[in-house]
């Protein structure tokens, strides 16, 4: 088989030398203008219609790629989607994370043709009850939790990468062990960034100092310092690596970006929509009742990590209960269901509450009128991909930034989670359901997202980088600021941080003296 491929490659190289070079530079994209299939997969029929030299090139350039992420959904899921897309293109792809997450992703990986590599057996996950990660999550120390995962993964990851010797690593931007170990072993790294450009466009140390003060007040000094350290690392990576940003213009305004930034769009599977049911029988039974009653569905999700307080659960429930003409599908952790009336037992028929729902499938249903979400970047993009307006309930990290973006685009209303009430929930949901402009703007964003390549664009970047490198695109030491985000040099950072903290302290003292 290898000899036949080599012979075919030589024949193709002789017959189409200029076209093979062009295929290498574009990863085949420029020679096959059709959009990806709805689920992102290249079907056998599509493959058969591609020019022979493209198929030969991809066969010869079969890569081994390790896609590495911490196990939390907002980072793991987009990393898994890249790994699956690589496998569909014929590459040897590995999704690497904490072993405890295997039950959530291993089968999906196997079905797509990639392997799941579980590291650090015995390390508990944030949603698995009493363990280190769960304790950190409960205390709001998310960066400390990510660092804990990374530290536990680092040793076994080094062993795996040393044995596998992949051609490339695709590293989630919150997983330091991925790029640290890859650098030790001399393996090229692409940075996977499932987040908006707006989160990183101004990593000034004034902004960082403000973040430090807020974090120190909210969760303590150690979390604040670790967050600053992580953002310092990310700042350097954003300049020195190819970065795959899962955002898109339309969601964010058109703008100049550094040459090493590749804008891919969301990696979530694209669906043609119009689904009539999901893979969950219990949900489908409830949906049949909803249709018989002629109701619209409000879908409520807060992601895998967010822990709602009792007053927040009550506010959502009581506010939604007062809205006529709607039913509620709510993905709510079992521990938090205890905050519902009677612990969630005997709720009105209009409420369908489960610990887990098939979100990607459910959002495509025409009955779903809007989504209440914490505005994690992945979940927000799933709502956009389905063309659904949003009521945003941001809590932390990039969520307030994301919520501000979709509000500015006319897609969302934003609620303040610290003062959440049944009145604010009722009024915001009623407003979005009654005003057709929200749904119209959501459809416009959906169309913009549909123009992007998503996970397939990530694969093309991997193929291009493997073939050509990126020396001309990344910023070398001492590069002009135009090539990368403007931040002070390392030597100036302690002074800048100290001055910013002093300014904040003086302002607080002046305010106190006026009282």
H or E stretch at 34: none
Q: Which of 421, 451, 481 is the last residue of a domain?
A: 451
Looking at the domain assignment, is residue 12 inside a domain? Answer: no
pLDDT the model gives residue 492: 45
Low-confidence ranges of the chain (pLDDT < 50): 1-47, 478-492
11 inside domain = no
pLDDT of residue 507: 53
Closest C-alpha to 86, from 107, 56, 64, 59: 64
Regarding whether 328 and 224 lie in a shared domain, the answer is no
Q: Do 435 and 308 fall into the same domain?
A: yes
Asked whether residue 333 falls in the same domain as residue 435, the answer is yes
Kindly state whether residue 32 falls inside one of the protein's structural domains.
no
286 and 343 fall within a common domain: yes
Is residue 164 domain-shared with residue 113, that is, in the same domain?
Answer: yes
Same-domain pairing of 352 and 406: yes
What pLDDT sits at residue 5?
38
d(CA 7, CA 174): 43
Q: 136 and 206, same structural domain? A: yes
Domain stops at, among 451, 472, 506? 451
Q: Whole-prediction pTM value?
A: 0.78
Q: DSSP secondary-structure letter at 363? A: T
Task: Report the alpha-carbon distance of residue 186 to residue 388 in Å, rounded.
Answer: 44
Give burial (CB, 10 Å; 0-12/13-18/19+) of 496: middle
Last residue of a domain, one of 451, 481, 496: 451
Q: Are the C-beta atoms of 170 and 65 separated by less than 8 Å?
A: yes
What pLDDT, on a 0 to 100 scale, did the predictor assign at position 200? 81
120 with 188, same domain: the answer is: yes
Residues of the domain holding 291: 281-451
Are 242 and 333 in the same domain? no
CA gap 300, 313 in Å, rounded: 11
Residues 245, 386, single domain; the answer is no
Order of strands across the sheet with 115-119? 115-119, 92-98, 64-68, 168-172, 189-193, 242-245, 261-263
Count of domains observed in the chain: 2
C-alpha–C-alpha distance, residues 432 and 319, integer Å: 14
203, part of any domain: yes
Pull the structure tokens for residue 399.
């969520």
pLDDT digits (tens, 9 = 90+) for 433-462: 999 999 999 999 999 999 999 999 999 999
- 460 assigned to some structural domain: no
What pLDDT digit, counting tens, does each position of 181-215 carry?
999 999 999 999 999 998 887 666 666 677 777 77
Question: Which CATH number belongs to the domain containing residue 207 in this structure?
Answer: 3.40.50.2000
Residue 156 lies in a domain: yes
418 shares its domain with 369: yes
Q: Is residue 54 part of a domain?
A: no
Whole-number pLDDT of residue 42: 43
Alpha-carbon gap, residue 284 to 116, rounded angstroms: 31
Three-state secondary structure of 234-301: HHHHHHHCEEEECCCECCECCCCCCCCEEECCCCCCCCCCCCCCCCCHHHHHHHHHHHHHCCEEEEEE
CA distances, 377 to each of 22, 245, 248, 399 (Å): 34, 11, 12, 7
Residue 464, in any domain of the structure = no
Same domain, 349 and 382: yes
DSSP 8-state secondary structure symbol assigned to residue 37: P
C-beta separation of 322 from 422 below 8 A: yes
Q: Which structure tokens are listed for 110? A: 């196997």
What is the pLDDT, as a whole number, of residue 388? 96
């Amino acid at each position: 088989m290898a000899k036949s491929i080599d012979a075919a490659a030589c024949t193709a190289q002789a017959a189409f030398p200029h076209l093979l070079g062009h295929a290498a530079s574009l990863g085949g994209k420029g020679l096959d203008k059709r959009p990806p299939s709805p689920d992102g997969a290249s079907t056998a029929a599509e493959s058969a219609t591609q020019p022979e030299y493209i198929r030969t090139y991809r066969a010869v350039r079969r890569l081994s790629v390790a896609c590495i992420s911490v196990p939390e959904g907002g980072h793991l899921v987009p990393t898994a989607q890249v790994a699956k897309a690589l496998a569909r293109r014929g590459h040897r792809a590995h999704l690497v994370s904490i072993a405890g997450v295997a039950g959530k992703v291993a089968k999906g990986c196997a079905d797509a043709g990639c392997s799941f590599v579980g590291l650090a057996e015995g390390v508990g996950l944030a949603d698995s009850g009493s363990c280190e990660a769960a304790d950190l999550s409960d205390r709001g120390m998310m960066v400390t939790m990510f660092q804990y995962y990374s530290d536990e993964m680092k040793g076994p990851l080094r062993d795996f990468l040393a044995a596998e010797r992949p051609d490339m690593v695709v590293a989630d931007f919150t997983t330091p062990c991925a790029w640290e170990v890859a650098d030790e072993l001399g393996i090229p790294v692409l940075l996977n960034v499932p987040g908006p450009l707006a989160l990183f466009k101004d990593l000034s140390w004034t902004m960082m100092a403000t973040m430090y003060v807020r974090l120190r007040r909210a969760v303590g000094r150690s979390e604040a310092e670790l967050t600053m350290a992580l953002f310092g690392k990310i700042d350097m990576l954003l300049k020195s690596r190819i970065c795959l940003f899962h955002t898109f213009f339309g969601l964010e305004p058109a703008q100049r970006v550094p040459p090493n930034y590749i804008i891919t769009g969301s990696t979530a599977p694209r669906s043609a929509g119009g689904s009539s049911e999901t893979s969950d029988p219990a949900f489908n039974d409830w949906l049949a009742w909803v249709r018989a009653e002629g109701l619209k569905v409000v879908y409520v999700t807060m992601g895998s990590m967010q822990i709602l307080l009792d007053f927040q659960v009550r506010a959502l429930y009581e506010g939604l209960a007062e809205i006529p003409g709607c039913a509620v599908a709510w993905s709510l952790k079992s521990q938090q269901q205890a905050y519902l009336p009677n612990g969630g037992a005997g709720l009105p028929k209009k409420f369908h509450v489960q610990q887990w729902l098939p979100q990607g499938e459910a959002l495509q249903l025409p009955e779903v009128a809007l989504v209440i979400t914490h505005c994690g970047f992945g979940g927000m993009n799933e709502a956009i991909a389905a063309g659904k307006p949003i009521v945003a309930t941001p809590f932390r990290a990039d969520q307030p930034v994301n919520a501000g973006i979709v509000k500015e685009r006319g897609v969302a209303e934003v609620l303040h989670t610290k003062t959440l009430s049944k009145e604010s929930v009722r009024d915001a949901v009623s407003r979005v359901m009654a005003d057709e402009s929200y749904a119209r703007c959501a459809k416009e964003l959906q169309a913009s997202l549909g123009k992007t390549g998503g996970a397939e664009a990530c694969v093309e970047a991997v193929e291009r980088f493997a073939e050509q490198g990126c020396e001309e695109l990344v910023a070398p030491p001492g590069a002009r600021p135009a090539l990368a985000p403007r931040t002070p040099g390392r030597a100036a950072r302690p002074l800048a941080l100290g001055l910013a903290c002093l300014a904040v302290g003086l302002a607080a003292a002046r305010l106190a003296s006026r009282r």
